[in-house]
Amino acid sequence: MNVFDMLRISPGDYLTVDNPRSNSGPRDVVPLGLSKNGISIRAIDTRYGNICYIGADWTIFTSKGEESKLGDIDHIKQSLLEWKLGKLGKKAPPTAPQQFLPDEESFEVATLDEILETFDLKNLKVAVTGTLPIPRKQIIQLLET
């Protein structure tokens, strides 16, 4: 079942919805489809053009003046129940095995000059940004040589 059949609207139609946890009031949205887990609807908020998710506790106002909660729709209600049961039945994630890491002294470390020598730097444009381990002037000198 797609979102348009579920809401009895045509693709491109908009809905007026209200988020109970927001003070911004009702807004018009254009539904795109059900979310991956099937418990909410992905939609475009027509105020700003951004994507929003209409949750099960949001109020939907129909063009006939009726209002209902998204969670009252049978398909959403069933998906929400399955999702909650799935979360309750999950086991704790396995702990990562402890890995042996050799001492830092055994690592071979390259200098910045050695790394730069491996690149073909002819006609290369570079932007030097961020935090550097040596002064910026030295980096520029290394790049120019």
Give pLDDT tens digits for 42-61.
888 888 888 888 888 889 88
Any domain includes 44: yes
Say what the pLDDT of residue 18 is. 92
Any domain includes 98: no
Residue 123 identity: N
Which has more pLDDT, 17 or 38?
17
Residue by residue, DSSP assigns 11-44 as TT--EEEE-TT-SS--EEEEEEEE-TTSSSEEEE
Any domain includes 144: no
Any domain includes 83: yes
Any domain includes 10: yes
Block residue for tokens 């890995």:
99
Inter-residue contact 17 to 61 (CB < 8 Å)? yes
What distance in Å separates the CA atoms of residue 24 and residue 30, rounded to the nearest whole number? 17
Any domain includes 87: yes
Residue 58, domain CATH = 2.30.30
Owning domain of residue 68: 3-91+103-110
What distance in Å separates the CA atoms of residue 28 and residue 45, rounded to the nearest whole number? 6
